[in-house]
Amino acid sequence: MKELLMRNGAPNLMRCIQCGTCTAGCTVYELEQSYNPRRFIQTILIGETKIDMKKAWLCSTCGICTERCPKEVWPMNVMLSARGLMVQNSEGVPEERMKSLVSLLESGFAFRKRKGLKLKRSSLGLPEFSLDGKQLEEVRALVKPMVKKVLKMGD
Protein backbone atom coordinates (compact mmCIF):
# COMPACT_ATOMS: atom_id res chain seq x y z
CA MET A 1 0.00 0.00 0.00
CA LYS A 2 2.76 2.41 1.00
CA GLU A 3 4.59 1.98 -2.30
CA LEU A 4 1.40 2.34 -4.33
CA LEU A 5 0.53 5.60 -2.62
CA MET A 6 4.05 6.92 -3.05
CA ARG A 7 3.93 6.19 -6.79
CA ASN A 8 0.44 7.65 -7.17
CA GLY A 9 0.57 11.17 -5.76
CA ALA A 10 2.06 10.85 -2.27
CA PRO A 11 5.84 10.69 -2.90
CA ASN A 12 6.79 12.23 0.45
CA LEU A 13 4.86 9.77 2.60
CA MET A 14 8.01 8.38 4.25
CA ARG A 15 8.97 11.84 5.54
CA CYS A 16 6.11 11.78 8.08
CA ILE A 17 7.37 12.12 11.67
CA GLN A 18 3.90 11.67 13.19
CA CYS A 19 3.93 15.13 14.78
CA GLY A 20 0.15 15.50 14.48
CA THR A 21 0.20 18.95 12.89
CA CYS A 22 -2.08 17.66 10.12
CA THR A 23 -4.72 16.50 12.58
CA ALA A 24 -4.39 19.60 14.77
CA GLY A 25 -5.35 21.83 11.85
CA CYS A 26 -7.90 19.50 10.28
CA THR A 27 -11.35 21.06 9.94
CA VAL A 28 -12.97 17.63 9.56
CA TYR A 29 -11.31 16.28 12.71
CA GLU A 30 -12.88 19.13 14.68
CA LEU A 31 -16.30 17.69 13.79
CA GLU A 32 -15.50 13.99 13.35
CA GLN A 33 -12.77 12.60 15.61
CA SER A 34 -12.89 9.23 13.85
CA TYR A 35 -11.14 10.98 10.95
CA ASN A 36 -7.52 11.44 11.96
CA PRO A 37 -5.02 12.14 9.15
CA ARG A 38 -2.01 11.40 11.36
CA ARG A 39 -3.40 8.02 12.38
CA PHE A 40 -4.39 7.21 8.78
CA ILE A 41 -0.82 7.87 7.62
CA GLN A 42 0.57 5.94 10.59
CA THR A 43 -1.40 2.81 9.68
CA ILE A 44 0.02 2.99 6.17
CA LEU A 45 3.60 3.56 7.37
CA ILE A 46 3.60 0.63 9.78
CA GLY A 47 2.20 -1.65 7.10
CA GLU A 48 -1.14 -2.29 8.75
CA THR A 49 -3.15 -4.63 6.55
CA LYS A 50 -6.61 -3.54 7.68
CA ILE A 51 -6.75 0.12 6.74
CA ASP A 52 -10.15 1.77 6.60
CA MET A 53 -9.56 3.40 3.24
CA LYS A 54 -13.05 4.93 3.32
CA LYS A 55 -11.71 7.42 5.88
CA ALA A 56 -9.88 9.07 2.97
CA TRP A 57 -13.26 10.14 1.59
CA LEU A 58 -13.92 12.23 4.72
CA CYS A 59 -11.12 14.65 3.77
CA SER A 60 -12.59 18.00 2.73
CA THR A 61 -9.45 18.83 0.69
CA CYS A 62 -9.17 22.24 2.36
CA GLY A 63 -5.37 21.92 2.22
CA ILE A 64 -4.63 23.16 5.75
CA CYS A 65 -2.77 19.94 6.61
CA THR A 66 -0.61 20.26 3.52
CA GLU A 67 0.17 23.92 4.20
CA ARG A 68 1.19 23.23 7.80
CA CYS A 69 3.08 19.94 7.45
CA PRO A 70 6.71 20.61 8.50
CA LYS A 71 8.00 17.69 6.41
CA GLU A 72 6.00 18.38 3.23
CA VAL A 73 4.26 15.00 3.41
CA TRP A 74 1.20 16.59 1.76
CA PRO A 75 -1.45 14.69 3.76
CA MET A 76 -4.20 15.89 1.45
CA ASN A 77 -2.41 14.20 -1.46
CA VAL A 78 -2.21 11.00 0.59
CA MET A 79 -5.99 11.10 0.97
CA LEU A 80 -6.57 11.87 -2.71
CA SER A 81 -4.18 9.07 -3.71
CA ALA A 82 -5.98 6.63 -1.42
CA ARG A 83 -9.29 7.63 -3.02
CA GLY A 84 -7.83 7.08 -6.48
CA LEU A 85 -6.57 3.63 -5.54
CA MET A 86 -9.98 2.69 -4.19
CA VAL A 87 -11.63 3.66 -7.46
CA GLN A 88 -8.96 1.87 -9.53
CA ASN A 89 -9.41 -1.27 -7.43
CA SER A 90 -13.15 -1.22 -8.16
CA GLU A 91 -13.95 -0.36 -4.56
CA GLY A 92 -15.57 2.67 -6.11
CA VAL A 93 -16.79 5.92 -4.72
CA PRO A 94 -18.88 5.78 -1.54
CA GLU A 95 -22.60 6.14 -2.16
CA GLU A 96 -22.74 9.45 -0.27
CA ARG A 97 -20.16 10.98 -2.63
CA MET A 98 -21.98 9.73 -5.71
CA LYS A 99 -25.19 11.26 -4.35
CA SER A 100 -23.34 14.57 -4.04
CA LEU A 101 -22.17 14.37 -7.66
CA VAL A 102 -25.69 13.58 -8.86
CA SER A 103 -27.05 16.46 -6.79
CA LEU A 104 -24.45 18.79 -8.31
CA LEU A 105 -25.58 17.79 -11.79
CA GLU A 106 -29.25 18.24 -10.94
CA SER A 107 -29.24 21.43 -8.87
CA GLY A 108 -25.72 22.81 -8.79
CA PHE A 109 -25.44 22.07 -5.08
CA ALA A 110 -23.62 19.13 -3.48
CA PHE A 111 -26.42 18.47 -1.03
CA ARG A 112 -30.13 18.35 -1.67
CA LYS A 113 -32.10 21.23 -0.25
CA ARG A 114 -34.10 20.37 2.81
CA LYS A 115 -37.84 20.73 2.36
CA GLY A 116 -38.22 23.35 5.06
CA LEU A 117 -35.32 25.48 3.85
CA LYS A 118 -37.37 27.52 1.37
CA LEU A 119 -39.98 28.29 4.03
CA LYS A 120 -37.35 29.15 6.65
CA ARG A 121 -35.48 31.47 4.27
CA SER A 122 -38.76 33.14 3.32
CA SER A 123 -39.69 33.68 6.98
CA LEU A 124 -36.33 35.38 7.51
CA GLY A 125 -36.81 37.62 4.47
CA LEU A 126 -34.08 35.85 2.51
CA PRO A 127 -34.37 35.12 -1.21
CA GLU A 128 -34.72 31.58 -2.53
CA PHE A 129 -31.34 29.90 -2.75
CA SER A 130 -30.86 28.71 -6.33
CA LEU A 131 -28.67 29.06 -9.38
CA ASP A 132 -29.75 30.64 -12.62
CA GLY A 133 -29.48 28.66 -15.86
CA LYS A 134 -26.02 29.96 -16.75
CA GLN A 135 -24.60 29.24 -13.29
CA LEU A 136 -26.06 25.73 -13.30
CA GLU A 137 -24.52 25.03 -16.72
CA GLU A 138 -21.13 26.21 -15.42
CA VAL A 139 -21.36 23.81 -12.48
CA ARG A 140 -22.42 20.97 -14.77
CA ALA A 141 -19.52 21.70 -17.13
CA LEU A 142 -17.15 21.27 -14.18
CA VAL A 143 -18.84 18.20 -12.71
CA LYS A 144 -19.55 16.13 -15.85
CA PRO A 145 -15.88 15.30 -16.56
CA MET A 146 -15.48 14.18 -12.93
CA VAL A 147 -18.51 11.92 -13.13
CA LYS A 148 -17.31 10.43 -16.42
CA LYS A 149 -13.85 9.80 -14.97
CA VAL A 150 -15.24 8.18 -11.81
CA LEU A 151 -17.56 5.96 -13.82
CA LYS A 152 -14.76 5.04 -16.24
CA MET A 153 -12.32 4.22 -13.43
CA GLY A 154 -14.87 1.95 -11.79
CA ASP A 155 -15.04 -0.28 -14.91
To which H or E segment does residue 117 belong? Answer: helix 117-123
pLDDT at 57 over 60: yes
**Interval 119-131: pLDDT, tens:** 888 899 988 777 8
**Interval 8-39: pLDDT, tens:** 888 999 999 999 999 999 999 999 999 999 99
* Per-residue pLDDT, 127: 84
- Distance, in Å, from the CA atom of 22 to the CA atom of 73, rounded to the nearest integer, reads 10
Higher pLDDT among residues 88 and 56, named by residue: 56
- For the segment 52-74, the average pLDDT, to the nearest whole number, is 92
pLDDT at 153 over 70: no
| Domains, the chain | 1-89 (1.10.1060.10), 95-151 (no CATH)
* Per-residue pLDDT, 152: 62
Whole-model pTM above 0.85? Answer: no
Burial class (CB in 10 A: 0-12, 13-18, 19+), 136: middle
- Distance, in Å, from the CA atom of 123 to the CA atom of 137, rounded to the nearest integer, reads 29
SS (H, E, C) 78-95: HHHHHHHHHHHCCCCCCH
Average per-residue pLDDT for the chain: 86
- The alpha carbon torsion through 27, 28, 33, 38 (nearest 10 deg) reads -80
